Amino acid sequence: MKDNQTLPGHIAVIMDGNGRWAGKRLLPRTAGHAAGLKRFAEIAEICSDIGVKYLTVYAFSTENINRSAEEVSGLFSLAYNAIDTYIEKLLKKNIRAKVIGDVSMIGGPLLQKIRAAEQKLKDCTGMTLCIAFCYGGRHELAQAVNAAVSAGEREFDDETIGRYLYTAGIPDPDLLIRTGGEKRLSNFLLYQCAYSELYFCDTLWPDFGRSELMAAIEDYSKRKRRFGR
Ligand code: IPE
Ligand code: IPE
Ligand code: MG
């Protein structure tokens, strides 16, 4: 990290390209997801070490459930096992974790495991790691409106809506990175990325390492943010 560089307080990442990474190696897509998980752990640790305050990653979308049963169950068991693999490391690094998404889609033992892990990390005061799993931006907005109505809200402004989003209390992303070459949001943080700086790169997620992250941060540090002013 160069001294004069502006570090984004909140980095959001669409970790895309696992399937293509595996395909190029004639491996099953699940192998690409396993490699992607290792990268995720590495990038999270680097972000924490360099002082990023919030890291939000897109791990599984509400639409991804329509993939083959084999791929979906592979991803769910990868998530389940990842908690055991990484929980102590997160604790040691003082990283608080939060999973955001449609809990009715997660369900069962995985959800219990997620909640227990969040509980275990709740007093950590370092980086907040937010994992979007079974997450869709439109679903998030719809549930926010429903939750607000149930709570008796009758008038909505930006601030009211923000309070009922899964990301309540978390500042908006400063920098949104998408790997894998596609230039779209794919239903990720639609409300929160109103003024985020967007960074797209062709690197497939399992190949996205420290130097690629630093290149994204350096690019961000050269941007001039105006917020409409
Ligand atoms: C992103 O990689 C991970 C998930 C969506 C779960 P993909 O699985 O979308 O990989 P590509 O885009 O097919 O290469
Ligand atoms: C977005 O990637 C979801 C995640 C990275 C978890 P997709 O691969 O699902 O997005 P599309 O289908 O290319 O828009
Ligand atoms: Mg993809």
Q: Is residue 70 in contact with ligand 2, taking CB distance under 6 Å?
A: no
Domain with 62 in it: 15-221
Q: Would 121 be classed as within a structural domain?
A: yes
Task: Note the maximum CA span of the chain.
Answer: 55
Q: Which residues of the chain have pLDDT under 50?
A: none
The ligand 2 atom at the shortest distance from the C-alpha of residue 184 is: 14
pTM exceeds cut of 0.95: yes
Going from the Cα of 105 to the center of ligand 2, the distance in angstroms, rounded, reads: 17
Alpha-carbon distance of 73 to 143, in angstroms, equals: 25
Q: Would 4 be classed as within a structural domain?
A: no
Q: Would 227 be classed as within a structural domain?
A: no
pLDDT at site 107: 85
Q: Would 38 be classed as within a structural domain?
A: yes
pLDDT at site 1: 55
What's the start-to-end Cα distance of the chain, in Å?
A: 29
Query: For 50-72, how does the pLDDT look when each residue is reduced to its tens digit (9 = 90+)?
Result: 999 999 999 999 999 999 999 99
Q: Would 157 be classed as within a structural domain?
A: yes
Residue 19 is part of a domain; what is its CATH number? 3.40.1180.10
Q: Is residue 17 in contact with ligand 1, taking CB distance under 6 Å?
A: yes
Q: Would 1 be classed as within a structural domain?
A: no
What b/e readout covers 15-27, taking b as 16+ CB neighbours within 10 angstroms? bbbbbbbbeeeee
Question: Could you give the 3-state DSSP secondary structure of residue 107?
Answer: coil
Q: What is the number of domains present in the chain?
A: 1
Alpha-carbon distance of 54 to 128, in angstroms, equals: 5
Q: Would 67 be classed as within a structural domain?
A: yes
pLDDT at site 3: 53
For the chain, the C-alpha Rg in angstroms (whole number) is: 17
Query: For 71-89, how does the pLDDT look when each residue is reduced to its tens digit (9 = 90+)?
Result: 999 999 999 999 999 999 9
Joined tokens for residue 59: 């791990």
pLDDT at site 77: 97
Q: Would 2 be classed as within a structural domain?
A: no
Joined tokens for residue 15: 């970790």
What is the bridge-based pairing of β-strands 128-135 and 175-178?
Answer: unpaired
List own/partner pairs for 30-35 with CB under 8 A and 24 or more apart: 30/70, 30/71, 30/74, 30/75, 30/78, 32/206, 33/71, 33/74, 33/75, 33/78, 34/78, 35/206
- Catalytic residue ranges: 16, 64
